[in-house]
Structure 1
Amino acid sequence: MAFTSESLKVFLAVLDGGSFSAAARNLGRVPSAVSMAIAQLEAELDMPLFDRATRKALPTAAALALEPQARQVASQLNLLDAHALQLHQGLERRLVLAMAPELQTGAWSRPLAILAREFPTLEIEVRSASQSEAVRMLHEGSVQLALVFERPGIDEREAFLEAGSQLLVAVAAPGFPAAGGQLPLGEAQMADTRQIIVATGEPTASDPQIVLSHRVWLTDSYLATLDLVQAGLGWAYLPQPLIQPLLASGLLTEVVFDNMASQLRLWVDVVWIKARPRGLGATRYLELLREQLRGEPARP
Structure 2
Amino acid sequence: MIESLTLDQLRILVTVSDEGGFSAAGRTLGRVQSAISQSVKALEENQGIKLFDRSRQRPTLTAVGRVLVEQARAILASTERFEAIAAGTRQGQEASLTLAIDPLVPTEPLIDSMRAVRDAFPNLPVSFYTEGLGGAERRLRTGSASLAFCLLLPSVPDDLTAYPLMDRTLIPVAAAAHPLACLPRPLTREDLDAHIQLVLADALDTDGPNYGVISSRVWRFVDIARRLDFLLAGFGWCKMPPYLVEQHIAAGRLKELDLSGDGPSPTDTLPIYAAHMRNRALGRAGSWLLDDLRRRLTQ
TM-score if structure 2 supplies the norm length?
A: 0.74
Number of aligned positions between the proteins:
286
Aligned match for 2:279, one of 275, 279, 286: 275
The 10-residue stretch of structure 1 (121-130 or 69-78) with the greater mean CA deviation from structure 2: 121-130
Residue pair 2:17, 2:61 contacting (<8 A) in 1 also: no
> How much identity, in percent, do the aligned residues show?
24
- The residue aligned with 1:130 is 133
Letter paired with 1:272: H
Q: Is the Cα contact below 8 Å between 2:165 and 2:272 reproduced in 1?
A: yes
CA distance, structure 2, for counterparts of residue 238 and residue 51 of structure 1:
69
Give the conservation status (yes or no) of the 8 Å contact 1:130–1:205. no
Q: Is the 8 A contact 2:185 2:258 kept in 1?
A: yes
Equivalent residue number for residue 39 of structure 1: 37
Task: Give 5+ residue unaligned stretches, structure 2.
Answer: none
CA deviation profile, 1:109-134 (whole Å, cap 9, x unmatched): 77567767846673625141324x64
C-alpha contact (below 8 Å) 1:197/1:217 kept by paired residues:
yes
Q: Of 235, 240, 248, which aligns to 2:242?
A: 240
Q: Go from structure 1 to structure 2 and tell me whether the alpha carbon gap of 1:20 and 1:163 turns closer, same or farther (over 3 Å shift).
A: farther
Give the structure 2 partner of residue 291 of structure 1: 292
Q: Distance in 1 between matches of 2:9 and 2:72?
A: 10
Distance 2:214 2:8 in 1: 67
Q: Kindly indicate whether the alpha-carbon contact (under 8 Å) linking 1:10 and 1:34 is maintained by their aligned counterparts in 2.
A: no
Q: Structure 2: how far apart are the matches of 1:139 and 1:43? A: 56
Give the structure-1-normalised TM-score: 0.74
Amino acid at match of 2:209: A
Taking structure 1 as reference, are residues 170 and 37 closer, same or farther at Cα in structure 2, changes over 3 Å only?
A: farther
- Alignment match of 1:145 (pick from 139, 144, 147): 147
User: Per-residue deviation at 1:235?
Assistant: 0.8
Tell me the distance in 1 between the aligned counterparts of 2:171 and 2:220.
18
Q: What amino acid is the match of 1:147? A: F
Counterpart mapping for 1:1-300 below 5 A: 3-19=5-21, 23=25, 26-27=28-29, 29=30, 33-44=31-42, 45=44, 49=52, 57-61=58-62, 63-64=65-66, 66-90=68-92, 95-103=97-105, 107-108=109-110, 118=121, 122=125, 124-131=127-134, 134-149=136-151, 151=153, 153-179=155-181, 182-190=184-192, 192-200=194-202, 201-202=205-206, 205-206=209-210, 208=211, 210-259=212-261, 262-278=266-282, 280=283, 283-296=284-297
For 1:138, give the aligned amino acid.
L
Q: Which is further off, 11-20 or 111-120?
A: 111-120
Deviation at 1:140, TM superposition (A): 4.9
Gap regions ≥5 residues in structure 1 = none
Between the aligned partners of 2:277 and 2:217, the Cα distance in structure 1 is 36
